[in-house]
Amino acid sequence: MPHRSWTSRNSGIHPPKLHDNLLGMIGNTPLVRLSGVTRDLPAEVEVWAKLEFMNPGGSVKDRPARQIILDAIAQGLLGQGQRLIDATSGNTGIAYAMLGAALDIPVTLVMPGNTSEQRKRVVTAFGAEIIASSEMEGSDGAITLVREILEADTEGNYYYADQYSNPSNPLAHTLTTAPEIWKQTDARVTHFVACTGTSGTIMGTGRGLKGFSKEIQIIGAQPADAFHGLEGLKHMPSSIVPQIYDESLLDEIRWIETEAGWDMAEQLAVDEGIAAGNSGGANVVAALQVASTLEKGVVVTVICDHADRYMD
């Protein structure tokens, strides 16, 4: 097979940035054009992936975790001895734990019992406490258990970050992800595609991009079935719908099979050299579905995290 062509236009050496603390390292992630999995598309259709595993906590969830914590501190809800608590399937928990360690904020995470061992070990390495919820109830079971813990907390020891309802979650993407994509594509982006978990990425980035141009199409994607194997994603018709989710913002919804997401994650590693988690694989499946309907366009999606978090 012939080698794919490439350019050194963006391959120069740049001096590394200096940061006063870890918080400044979140965001400004690379945008990479996919050339292997897109080989059958028309020449004027581009598909780009934002590599969110380049964040210091290893996932897209660093962005909302930072915004949630900073906003809570500014409002006096956190940083005065309160313990942050939230339900998480892993990536947001890692981000909370990392930032909690950096900012001296205690963190308690309610995680489904079947959360991967790698994620649990990373969280505890940062000093966070884990409370296990039912592995059969997924993220909804973790949310329910958090609410029970809060009901029993009569002394106000906890700050409930509530990533599924907290407007700071999508705000993080409106303020950072959207303008990064707009700038990185030289204002050429025509479609943004992402699967829904908390829905913060698609909601916040969608609003931000629509603020730059109403013509940009925002396409949400979801697992095709209630009982799926795409970790961190929600099948909205059968789930507790996050309060931050507003389906009216979406121009279209795509339904993704579990096998397709996992297969694409493997294909990205072989064809692109990108080791993506299965949610990133699902995002690319949806992006390619959209791209296949176009004659010309610039489709952008997100690689949420790295494959190494799924290798138990």
Which residues are annotated as catalytic?
61, 279
Closest CA to 237 of 246, 221, 253, 225: 225
Tell me the torsion sign for CA atoms 3, 9, 13, 17.
negative
Q: Report how far residue 115's alpha carbon sits from residue 10's, in angstroms, rounded to the nearest whole number.
A: 38
Using an 8 Å Cβ cutoff, are 110 and 56 in contact?
Answer: no
CA 249 from centroid of its chain's CA atoms = 18
Bridge-partner residues for 254, per DSSP? 221
Please say whether the beta carbons of 226 and 137 come within 8 A: no
User: Residue 139 has which token pair?
Assistant: 């993220």
**Coil, helix or strand for 180?**
helix
- For 220, residues 6+ apart whose C-beta sits below 8 A from its C-beta are 193, 194, 195, 196, 199, 202, 247, 250, 252, 253, 254
Tokens of 15: 């001096």
CA distance 250 to 193: 10
